[in-house]
Amino acid sequence: MDFNEEDFKSAAEKIASFIVEYDSILKNCTVANPVKPGDLYNSLDAKLPDSGEKSIDRLIGKVRDEISPRMVHWSHPENTAWYPAVAPKIIALGSMLENTLSCVGFSWSSSPALTELEQKVMDWLVDIYGLPEHFKFSASGTGGGCFQGTAGEAVLNACLAARGRFLSRKDVDPRKLIAYCSDQAHCSCSRAAQISLMQVRKVETNDEGSMTGELLVKQIKSDVADGFYPAFVAVTLGTTGICAFDDLKSIVEVLEAHYPNVWIHVDAAYAGPMFALKEYKNLLSGIDKVDSFNTNLSKIGIGGFDSSPMWVKNRFDLTNNFVENPDYLRSHENEINDENVHQVNFRDWTLAFGRKFRAIRVWLAMEWFGVYGIKEHVRNHIKLATEFEDLILKNTQVFELIKPRSFGLVCFKFLTKHRLKNGNNKDHDDFVQRAKIQYGLIVTSAIWKDQTYLRASFNAFASNSNDVFNVFQKFVNLALSE
Ligand SMILES: Cc1ncc(COP(=O)(O)O)c(C=O)c1O
């Protein structure tokens, strides 16, 4: 039995109150609490009780008392780990709509509004980020975009499309196809290549952590000499470890001149939304020539998790891999006329057949913030990182940057108290452990030029300058108590 009207309103109000209460929970707790594996699992009923729990208060109580304390709070204002998973309240409201207007958008006929709202949101994003016009549905070409669940899915789809297109143009041994990415690229690039049955080459990067056209071609030439075929290149704009940018311009130039059949994909999972700011558009130089581009709205793009827009220059390159027209779908889909750009079937754009109404959640957030609000959020994220970087630079007796801040990410090391020299890799691994035990902070570390370093980006929608200062103080204490 579902709710009656009154009970539903009351339950929804209680959930809304808990959403508000969660902000004060966050103020009074640390990013991570000490938990042991199995803590939550063992605290819950071994079997689902026969009769349903009809008290929303008791269920919220379980969230408050049992689930929330065992969380790593990604939305905590002092969370500097990984990259953001931004969740402003409008996303919570959008999720309610998403699940209320519940439909499954595998085709235009099954969900016309879902399909067209998604198209509209994709076109708006192209304008906001300054991506090529030919990615838009409103352009006269064959481009377009839709949501993939994650950046990893986007890269996989691009890689599968690359394989399909390459083999349709060249009659070659499919075992000889190679996919390239930089040695700093996210592991989803190599996984995508493996799933697409391509061999992977991780191209050496320069001192900035960037793959350049020159370095890429050096690797390609050696592969071609060995009888392989370059089929796919994943260019990363904003790598996970140090937020480095591959040199897109030199890469597209060299591929266009010598290897025109290679599919060029850009993974801008983190940095994509930064292109809303005109001062960063130069990093997109060469973007007109790429076959596909993805970013994540969950990171800094205020769309919530599982909304990773991906655009393609030619949608048929992508859909050729997936088109199937089973007879159980025919009755309505024979209305489809491929000449009409709005009658696209998004099931052909990705592995998942069904598609939820993410577009309504993202649309709500976009309408709510507007272009100005979207840019403001990006600026604030960068501003907090700038403040943190300034603190590091004013305290060079304790810390040193391993490279200048890149967008919202600061990468640094600490100097040990006793030796007044760079902490070694083990010191930094210890720092990470002590941060968790002493302050309930999650600190992510990575390796750059054989040295472990620490990463910090201010991730919560609610993070502010006080949080930056507080985290910094805790880091100083940790460094000095080494
Ligand atoms: C550059 C880059 N690509 C891909 C990913 C993977 O993202 P997702 O979880 O959406 O697959 C990340 C995650 O941080 C990333 O930084």
- Do 383 and 342 fall into the same domain? no
**Cβ(276)–Cβ(268) below 8 Å:** no
- Residue at 66: amino acid letter: E
Among the three residues 290, 325, 356, which one is the final residue of a domain in this structure?
356
Task: Please say whether the dihedral angle defined by the alpha carbons of residues 247, 252, 258 and 259, taken in this order, is positive or negative.
Answer: positive
- What atom in ligand 1 is closest to the CA of residue 154? 11
Residue 216's pLDDT band (boundaries 50, 70, 90)?
Answer: very high
Does residue 181 fall inside a structural domain?
A: yes
* pLDDT tens-digit map of 145-196: 999 999 999 999 999 999 999 999 999 999 999 999 999 999 999 999 999 9
Which atom belonging to ligand 1 lies closest to the Cα atom of 185? 1
Site to probe by mutation for ligand 1, drawn from 147, 270, 299, 358 as the one with most ligand atoms within 8 Å of Cβ, is 270
Range with top average pLDDT, 107-116, 214-223, 347-356, 473-482: 214-223
Residues 350, 384, single domain; the answer is no
How far does the centroid of ligand 1 lie from the alpha carbon of residue 267, in Å? 8
Q: Which atom of ligand 1 is closest in space to residue 238's alpha carbon?
A: 1
In a domain, 366, yes or no: no
Distance 377 CA to ligand 1 centre (A): 20
Does residue 312 share a domain with residue 426? no
Range of the domain at 348: 103-356
Which whole-number Å values give the CA distances from 278 to 126, 128, 290, in the listed order? Answer: 14, 10, 20
pLDDT given for residue 359 in this prediction = 97
Is residue 365 a part of any domain in this protein?
Answer: no
Please give the Cα distance from 282 to 47 (Å, whole number): 57
Decide if 94 is inside a domain: no
Mean pLDDT over 133-150 rounds to 96
Report pLDDT for 415: 86
Give me ligand 1 centre to Cα 58, in Å: 36
- Ligand 1 nearest-atom number relative to CA 296: 10
For residue 379, give the CATH number of its domain.
Answer: 3.90.1150.10
Residue 479 CB partners (closer than 8 Å, separation 6+):
398, 399, 414, 415, 416, 417, 423, 431
Structural domain count, the chain: 3
Q: How far is the CA of 269 from the centre of ligand 1 (A)?
A: 5
CA-based nearest residue to 416, from 429, 398, 438: 398
- 282 and 324 co-located in one domain: yes
Per residue in 241-275, pLDDT (tens digit) is 999 999 999 999 999 999 999 999 999 999 999 99
Specify the ligand 1 atom closest to the Cα of 153. Answer: 11
Q: Are residues 122 and 239 in the same domain?
A: yes
CA distances from 288 to 107, 256, 313, 357, 381 (A): 29, 12, 9, 29, 28
- Using a pLDDT cut of 70, give the percent of the chain over it: 97
In a mutational test of the pocket of ligand 1, which residue from 186, 243, 300 has the highest number of ligand atoms less than 8 Å from its CB? 186
| Ligand 1 centroid – CA 406 distance (Å) | 17
Distance (angstroms) between ligand 1 centre and the Cα of 402 equals 22
Confidence at residue 95, expressed as pLDDT on a 0 to 100 scale: 96
Do 312 and 460 lie in one domain? The reply is no
pLDDT band at 323 (very low <50, low <70, confident <90, very high): confident
- Token output for 453: 């370093």
Ligand 1 atom nearest to CA at 308: 10
Same domain, 384 and 305: no
Helix 465-480 to helix 425-439 angle (10° resolution) is 120
Q: Are strands 451-456 and 409-414 parallel, antiparallel or unpaired?
A: antiparallel
Q: Whose CA is nearest to atom 7 of ligand 1?
A: 151
Residue 191 sits in a domain whose CATH number is 3.40.640.10
Report the atom number in ligand 1 closest to the C-alpha of 236: 1
What percent of the chain has pLDDT above 90? 87
Give distance in angstroms: CA of 241 to centre of ligand 1: 11
Cα 337 to ligand 1 centroid, rounded to whole Å: 35
User: What pLDDT does residue 482 have?
Assistant: 66
Q: Are residues 376 and 341 in the same domain?
A: no
Name the domain boundary from 356, 380, 407. Answer: 356
Residue 451 has φ and ψ, to the nearest 5°, of -115, 135
Q: Are strands 444-448 and 451-456 parallel, antiparallel or unpaired?
A: antiparallel
Q: How far is CA 451 from the centre of its chain?
A: 26
Token pair, residue 468, equals: 């930056």
CA of 231 to the centre of ligand 1 (A): 22
Average pLDDT, the chain: 94
CA of 305 to the centre of ligand 1 (A): 12
Residue list, ligand 1 pocket, CB within 6 Å = 83, 150-152, 186, 188, 236, 238-240, 267, 269-270, 296, 308
On whether both 173 and 257 belong to a single domain, the answer is yes
Q: Which atom of ligand 1 is nearest to the CA of 271?
A: 1
Q: Of 267, 332, 330, 299, which is closest to residue 458 (Cα–Cα)?
A: 299
Q: Answer yes or no: do 451 and 384 share one domain.
A: yes
| Residues sharing a CB contact under 8 Å with residue 32, sequence separation 6 or more, in sequence order | 72, 73, 436, 440, 441, 442
Domain membership of residue 230 (yes or no) is: yes
Ligand 1 mean position, distance from CA 372 (Å): 26
The domain boundary, picked from 70, 90, 125, lies at: 70
Q: Which tens digits make up the pLDDT trace of 50-70?
A: 998 889 999 999 999 999 999
Q: Return the minimum-mean-pLDDT range out of 86-90, 140-144, 309-313, 330-334.
A: 330-334
Query: Which atom, in ligand 1's list, is nearest to the CA of 152?
Result: 11
Which residue's CA lies nearest to atom 9 of ligand 1?
150
Max intra-chain CA distance, the chain: 76
Indicate whether 53 and 116 sit together in one domain: no
Are 407 and 444 in the same domain?
Answer: yes
Q: Is residue 75 part of a domain?
A: no
**Ligand 1 centre from 83 Cα, in Å?**
9
Instruction: Work out the pLDDT band at 373, boundaries 50, 70, 90.
Output: very high
- Is 363 domain-assigned? no
Choose one of 155, 246, 267, 294 to mutate for the ligand 1 pocket test, by most ligand atoms within 8 angstroms of C-beta.
Answer: 267
| Top mutation candidate among 184, 188, 246, 459 for ligand 1, by most atoms within 8 Å of CB | 188
Residue 328 included in any domain:
yes
CA of 237 to the centre of ligand 1 (A): 11
